[in-house]
Amino acid sequence: MVDRFPRPRLLPAAEDAVLIEFSPSIDPALAPLIAAWSEAIHNNLGHWLTDLVPSYGSITVYYDPSRIDFRLIISRLNRIPESLCEVSGQPEGRIIELPVWYHPSVGPDLNTLADACGLDPVQVAAVHSGTGYQVYALGFSPGFAFMGQVDPTIATPRLERPRTRVPAGSVGIANRQTAVYPSVSPGGWQLIGRCPTSLFDEESLALLRVGDQVRFRSVGRKEFMDLGGDDTPFEERGAPA
């Protein structure tokens, strides 16, 4: 079992939610522990739950307060470590490959980011696609997967002013996180390319799951188009005040 982490803190998050906090920082070694806790919570408290949201260093447990009260949910959560089997030090999950066309026409921040990092755009693409990423959490919009960690040489903060419209498939970086926008939405991540793979649909829902390992593969425009990509150049629109 992953035992170098202390027992998590159980904190009230809302009238119908408890935050299970393992660590305030990102640590890949936490992933198998969080996955094991999530499965145990589903198995032991599933009929009382309304949602379960794992993240980088925590799990938020949403429950039905008309069926179970806070004290009882805390009591049940405190028993979870007793029900855990041995936790592997390696996260379990699928290996998913996502093609990306790294180009300024679809990645409007690629050149600026490259200049800031002392690299050229081709080198940024090579660094980004040369790293494997773990899916730590899903959120923000359906199918949006928070992945890490980005190599420090290309890690870059979010934009100071988010964009009102980011095209579906846009690949972005925010500090040491990376993600693909599954659908058109606002967003403040720095965009470096576009992915042709659909990450969410109403039938199969989200392509990526917490614990999956993702590798990006750099492709040219032709392969991007052959895979169903949309090469419409990014058009900057006004940001909210």
Q: Are residues 71 and 117 in the same domain?
A: no
Give the pLDDT of residue 165.
95
Q: What is the pLDDT of residues 213-234, one digit of tens each?
A: 999 999 999 999 999 999 999 9
What is the number of other CB atoms lying within 10 angstroms of the CB of residue 140? 15
Output the six-digit token pair for 18.
Answer: 């408890």
Among 28, 57, 83, give the residue marking a domain's end.
83
Q: Are residues 103 and 52 in the same domain?
A: no
Contact (Cβ atoms closer than 8 angstroms) between residue 107 and residue 192: yes
Q: How much of the chain exceeds pLDDT 70, in percent?
A: 92
Q: What is the mean pLDDT of the chain?
A: 88
Higher-scoring residue by pLDDT: 189, 26: 189
The Cα 218–Cα 221 span in angstroms is 10
238 pLDDT higher than 70: no
Report angle CA 9, 84, 46 to the nearest 5 degrees. 80
Q: Are residues 71 and 114 in the same domain?
A: no
Higher-scoring residue by pLDDT: 142, 202: 142
Give the pLDDT of residue 57.
84
- What is the helix, strand, coil percentage profile of the chain, to 5? 25, 30, 45
Q: Are residues 130 and 205 in the same domain?
A: yes
Domain that holds residue 196: 95-226
Q: Calculate the CA 17 to chain-centre distance.
A: 21
pTM for the structure as a whole: 0.74
Output the six-digit token pair for 186.
Answer: 């606002």
Give the pLDDT of residue 90.
52
Return the CATH number at 115: 2.40.100.10
- CA-wise closest residue to 200 among 187, 224, 182: 182
Give the pLDDT of residue 10.
94
Output the six-digit token pair for 38.
Answer: 């999530």
Domain count, the chain: 2
Among 83, 116, 139, give the residue marking a domain's end.
83
Return the CATH number at 15: 3.30.1360.40
Q: How confident is the model at residue 77 (pLDDT cuts 50, 70, 90)?
A: very high
Contact (Cβ atoms closer than 8 angstroms) between residue 18 and residue 74: yes
